[in-house]
Amino acid sequence: MTRIKVLAESFPIRGSFTIARGSKSEAVVVRVELRDGAHVGQGECVPYARYGESVAGVVETLIALAGRIEAGLRRDELQLTLPPGAARNALDCAFWDLDAKRAGVRAHELAGLPAPGPALTAFTISLDTPQAMAEAARASGHDLLKLKLGTEGDRARLRAVRDAVPGTRLIVDANEGWTVENIAENLAACARAGVELVEQPLPAARDAALADIPHPVPICADESAHGLDGLPDLIGRYDALNIKLDKTGGLTEAIELARAAQAHGLDIMVGCMVATSLAMAPAMLLAPLARFVDLDGPLLLAQDRAPALRYEGSVVYPPDPALWG
């Protein structure tokens, strides 16, 4: 019999994490343990208020499934049990971990995916003044930076960062903060600065406008991209998808979405919320499919959980089985 344990946990963020929608100083995650007596599988999610989620709501949803899990609920039944989102993600990833340990193989083998290797990950620079962002970029020492933008003064921020790190690769995340009135000028500034990708420049509800404007820099869907059902709406508007397991509702649908997106000519970014290595580990299975990897969540924490992923400079390494999968 498989039993579930659900825990809400808090991890302080190093300094603070600021995007166009606000700041936070801690990452509150929900961890799921599935135990069958001989094996333990784990998964982690980050309930996100932007999508109508809360820690209490996710915990309640998962605990309510205890009886069905004890009765034999399987991972391949989750798509019909829960909608895409954080709750399903934690449970789906815990099942992948448990199934891999039961079978005595790695999770990527169960998924029919190539073994993940070391991957270059982006490192996030929080939204701040141009001077502060330039200094943070200079001090980071990372080869690929993701700049949080989305407010007045973004072009000055771009110029300051590019002047500070002239040889560093840049991507930009506007977190829905630009408008149809300023997007063309902001994208042109990104092109001048050599930015390689711009995430979610417009609000998800207004992104139809992206089909009618030039893309001097490839544009990536984030808040607009969730599960498979929404993929048709993104084609013609975006050049890439940021696939986050908390949005797809786990690794199972994330794999399907990545393959479907690539079949439509879209590039893949594999991304994350601010969370621990346990949340990043299953996302590492998507890294071989991705043009961009953005799994820096643990680097933004004051302290990660143990065991943890190994980060060396800008490179993140696949998980050890003691962590996940």
Catalytic positions? 148, 244
Give the whole-angstrom CA distance, residue 181 versus residue 257: 32
Per-residue three-class SS string for the chain: CCEEEEEEEEEEEEEEEEECCEEEEEEEEEEEEEECCCCEEEEEECCCHHHCCCHHHHHHHHHCCHHHHHCCCCHHHHHHCCCCCHHHHHHHHHHHHHHHHHHCCCHHHHHCCCCCCCEEECEEECCCCHHHHHHHHHHHCCCEEEEECCCCCHHHHHHHHHHHCCCCEEEEECCCCCCCCCHHHHHHHHHHCCCCCEECCCCHHHHHHHHHCCCCCCEEECCCCCCHHHHHHHECCECEEEECHHHHCCHHHHHHHHHHHHHCCCEEEECCCCCCHHHHHHHHHHHHHCCEECCCHHHHECCCCCCCCCEECCEECCCCCCCCC
Residue 249 gets the label, from left (phi > 0), alpha (psi -120 to 50) or beta, of left
